[in-house]
Amino acid sequence: MYLEKLKLDGRVAVVTGGGQGIGAACAQALGEAGATVIVAEMLPERVEAIVTELKKLGIKAHGVTLDVTKSADVDAAAAEIVKEHGRVDILVNNAGVAKSDVRAEDTTDEHWRFHMDVNVDGLFWCCRAFGRQMLEQGRGAIVNIGSMSGFIVNKPQPQAFYNASKAAVHHLTKSLAAEWGARGVRVNAVAPTYIETPLTAFGIEENPEMYKTWLEMTPMGRVGQPDEIASVVHFLASDAASLLTGSIVLADGGYTCW
């Protein structure tokens, strides 16, 4: 009975930023669970590559080129996906940016706006567009990718702009959950630790001392892998998490225990 709740057969899932890293892992996890997966990614070459890879695994996969910072484009993409597939059951808001290691006093308007445009505004445009369809259906699950940085202040790298954007994601998640819970739409978030993806290369590959600090501050003594976050996303998107809404699930290797 429990394992049946993890199956996603017949459902349609949209994953933003699905061309690499956590997004690609989420697309694969949801697809392996039976969902039809639509990868929404800004770079067309990434869309083509990941859709091809997913299809080789036997996953029903499709792709759409999308810049989540453009609300009109998000609305159009949502309408087209619903027209083609009839519904949207799952939305994973993974599209995000993290150009860290910039002090607050050196943060330009453009740098601040860049992170808010993608991490907060783009995420909300997607919640709004696909959430409307879910509300009409009377059912849906949204999983936002937040960060442990929405709970703590990272060290040694300064990144006030990023931390603020992810804290906003967490509170937006709770706010939408409160509004939409009685109407059948669950909204949760995952708050990962450092995950080995292109976004963390500045620390893992390019700054050994910074990487050492990250590991020393993590009780498990390691960074995470994309599939470890995808597993949590799969759970939250499934009926196994039917009572969960407004939850921010920390997947941080114990980082916030200290």
Question: Annotated catalytic sites, by residue?
Answer: 162
Give me 238's structure tokens.
């499934």
Helix/strand/coil for 197: coil
Q: Which residues have CB under 8 Å from 244's CB, separation 6+?
A: 186, 188, 236
User: How many Å is the Cα radius of gyration of the chain?
Assistant: 17
Cα–Cα nearest to 96, from 31, 12, 3, 161: 161
Question: Residue 87: helix, strand or coil by DSSP?
Answer: coil
Contacts of 179 (CB under 8 A, 6+ apart): none
Q: Contact at 8 Å (CB) between 244 and 225?
A: no
Main-chain dihedrals φ then ψ at residue 89, nearest 5 degrees? -100, -30
